[in-house]
Structure 1
């Protein structure tokens, strides 16, 4: 089937009698409740459950192997190829399935806050609550923008359609397939709404670098003087906590592009974890969950309808989706200048990385490619002791292009704009997990604040003997003895043994980057094994 045929089928679907286009939040909430897709909570948020899939399905994600992208994609376990024939047959089935529904819902909007680089998208949903999710997570158009909207990429989501792997060429009933030539994301067999958000991010991770714009999985904020900071970090490293600063305005909490003009948010909303959420710990997130927000898999008191955020019976991965405007202290539109500081966050359960260190460009590229943090005992079945985990560019599941492409772009921008890069360990000190203690949050905040304020630019440093990192000897508000990890352990010999063990894991992980400039490993990696 040609792209014209694909578009014709899509046009027929969207112009069908069963289509609701661009419904307002109140009307979508009414639909969710009338269709029994969810319930209303005490705050006015809608709560929906996602069934057996409470997270992403990475093994069911594919990219159509098409001539224009075949030689560009980093094919492998993350970017699995699927044929055009398989895609087209499945696509036709899904379109027919949606045409048979009583109602479907369409949202038109954008990915990318910078008008010069934004991607006009539309999202076609079987469920009203999924369309509400899309409305809150992507950038909502004004009436004038909607009148001129020309869709470039479409997400078609049909959770109720289950694939037959033997017939449809998938691995399970679930599928998330991106066709870059047809400009379609096809999702089926899963009710987890995050697949829509991350699929568009994956698309942007292809589209933006092709336009010489670095796409990034990070949060970003801006200070009173207009100074921009980026925060990269995997789950549990403190990215959301540390980027939420009352003295700095939020640009975005998860996905950004870095263009010749500066940084812009890819999204129009936030998708925050809610396990253990409280007004004391995370007041911005807690207070943002109001009418029209979407709560995923959160247990709710049957009488009061108050969300029970400490109850993770359904999943640890409970979530809230809300528009970024629900946060008080934001930049609007979500655009700012070039970063002056980048912070890489890691929660090192081995207790050997410095609480803060300054990185050279090569070290920044090395740690960006590594994307290190730790899995803790008990977080996953079979994990009985801390495990090193690496996620390339802090976003491996969403990168269609070779990792070196993103790292080289980062290195170039660090040079161009004189960016200071810091590695901050929010994990353990004084020993590994189970022996030492978690880094004091007030110390971490003080270290990050000093980095953002430029107080560490000329501070005296000492080189770490294993990782080669430059450790500041003094940071305002932090005891000097905390800064050098070898001095926080009671047994310095045990510290160096554990540090070399982790250095070996870094080396082993980095060996997969055979196509990366060798200088990055030589100048950026550990100096002792």
Structure 2
């Protein structure tokens, strides 16, 4: 085999000691074990630790400032520019680093719609990283082979560190996307999620220019063909709530809405599994078996039994598995236009209602706001929930201005008459540290009522601060849970926290999205 044919980047693999080309999952697992990269658990999953970095490192992510994209990118603290010269310097260092080392190569697709698939070549120095991407991208088949050159190449070298003074980075870690060279360079971190999210970032740049709407959401489909989308940041419940035994899972994290309907970007799931239990989340529990990569979970060294309640390494424990590990997964990854959209948030203030129906202006307001509480471990340095606003429920992955994605959503909602709900999976009865997380079975009942039409014509009461329409009753949920003020013993404390959060909403919106339609600007909270 001539390693030069493995990439559109000339010479990338020329000097490798050995190139492992598109191996099967069992073979990658064998090599990962032989190279002491991980261990098998009692369930058969490959257990790995990612060391210093157990979450994404957003301050170390860059986009190369190139002539063809410089006027399109929404530059700032999320999309940090790096010069072409610095990229070339790091790329040369990567070639030197790879000299004499083994490489693992996987060729896969992003996008279940075969008419719109992008081809990604993933080159890694670790076998388990290759397995991770093999499980999460869409794997080639006999009737859909990977042919020709890739559209993008990802080069993941955790052992390669940057020199900030010389390489233009903030630290030894770097995640750099070159949209013109069509290369992603990753170094200084073993956290595999950086590869996955680099793919998503690329699609978020390319697809809107073609009139398609990339979305940070999970999706499932009912027996009648009704499609539901679940938007939300990591840890808010996208994977958990879309893995519904009564519905078929399309995908758990990233989708595209085209003129024909929606399609999954990925071929696998990346489930957060802190506190995972067989009774509450049976589908995810049973998916953790041979072929699954289990990241940073505490495992008994003798029995090899995983302890999902142990957060010794991080709160951001993860399981990466192919979609077919879910028994009722929706094969093919494409479906029709959504009937229902759910915005998920985990409110650490404890004041947002567990469920509310949104008008279209409210939907655009909350989409542009993207409020949640950033949960511990999802990003480097986050040790407890922090209130945060992430535009479009995915700002770290959006190279273009948030208004581009909001306009796409607005057009889709109007064209397809979609019902939109806000569901809070966070705290009730008090803020974080005082109140408690909303009972998961209650949340599931609210989601079911939203999807089966029970809430479409229900009676509602209007929240005085946030203007949200709260249902007066939901099957299977105690009525006093629905209005958050009823769950607080200290009513004045509730109003204080509500005003505090409302102020943060208003400040964020005025700062980051000042130029919106008047009806959208008026759809936010008011200070009483």
TM > 0.5 fold call: yes
CA offset at residue 150 of structure 1?
3.5
1:76 equivalent in alignment to 2:109: no
Conservation of the 8 A alpha-carbon contact between 1:465 and 1:528: no
- Residue 301 of structure 1 corresponds to which residue in structure 2? 300
Q: CA RMSD in A?
A: 2.5
Aligned to 1:326: 325
* Mapping for residues 200-349 of structure 1, pairs under 5 Å: 200-349=199-348
Kept in 2, the 8 Å contact 1:350–1:386? The answer is no
Determine helix, strand or coil for the equivalent of 1:78: coil
Structure 2: distance between partners of 1:306 and 1:329: 26
In structure 1, the partner of 2:23 is: 23
User: Following the alignment from structure 1 to structure 2, what is the Cα–Cα distance between the partners of residues 189 and 445?
Assistant: 39
TM, length-normalised to structure 1: 0.93
* Residue pairs, 1:351-390, within 5 angstroms: 351-374=350-373, 387-390=386-389
Alignment deviations for residues 170-190 of structure 1 (CA, whole Å, 9 cap, x no partner):
222211100001111011111
For 2:375 and 2:266, the matched residues in 1 are separated by: 30
CA 1:383 to 1:61, structure 2 compared with 1: closer, same or farther past 3 Å? closer
What do residues 90-147 of structure 1 show as CA deviations (whole Å, max 9, x unaligned)? 112202321321x111100101111122211110111111111111111100134335
**By how many angstroms is 1:392 displaced?**
1.4
Say if 2:256 and 2:265, in contact at 8 Å, map to a contact too. Answer: yes
**Could you tell me how far 1:151 is from its partner in structure 2?**
0.9
**Unaligned 5+ residue runs, structure 2?**
1-5
Once the two structures are superposed, the pairs formed by residues 373-452 of structure 1 within 5 Å of their partners are: 373-374=372-373, 387-452=386-451
Following TM superposition, by how much is the alpha carbon of 1:384 offset from its aligned partner in structure 2, in angstroms? 11
Aligned to 1:502: 501
4+ residue stretches of structure 1 with deviation over 6 A? 376-386
Of 144-153 and 267-276, more deviation after overlay is shown by: 144-153
TM-score by length of 2: 0.93
Structure 1 residue matching 2:314: 3-state secondary structure:
coil
Query: Is 1:51 aligned to 2:48, yes or no?
Result: no
Report the equivalent of 2:184. Answer: 185
Name the CA distance, whole Å, in 1 between partners of 2:491 and 2:188. Answer: 53
Q: Measure the CA separation in 1 of the matches of 2:492 and 2:57.
A: 43
Note if contact 1:9-1:95 (Cα within 8 Å) is conserved in structure 2.
Answer: no
Contact 2:376–2:385 (8 Å) recurs in 1: yes
Q: How far is the alpha carbon of 1:250 from its aligned partner? A: 0.4
Q: CA deviation at 1:314?
A: 2.1
**Is contact 1:47–1:298 with CA below 8 Å preserved after alignment?**
yes
- Measured in 2, the distance between the counterparts of 1:52 and 1:431 equals 33
Worse-superposed segment, 253-262 or 285-294: 285-294
Partner of 1:3: none
Residues 304 and 351 of structure 1: is their aligned pair in 2 closer, same or farther, counting only changes over 3 Å? closer
Aligned to 1:522: 521
In the TM superposition, what is the alpha-carbon distance from 1:418 to its structure 2 partner?
0.3
Q: How many residues align?
A: 523
Number of the residue aligned with 1:42: 42
Q: What is the distance in 1 between the residues matched to 2:526 and 2:342?
A: 22
Q: Aligned equivalents of 2:451 and 2:341: distance in 1?
A: 9
Distance in 2 between residues matched to 1:287 and 1:383, nearest whole Å: 29
Q: Output one character per residue of 1:229-250: Cα deviation in whole Å (capped at 9) or x when no partner.
A: 1111234433322222111000
Shift, 1:386, TM fit: 6.9
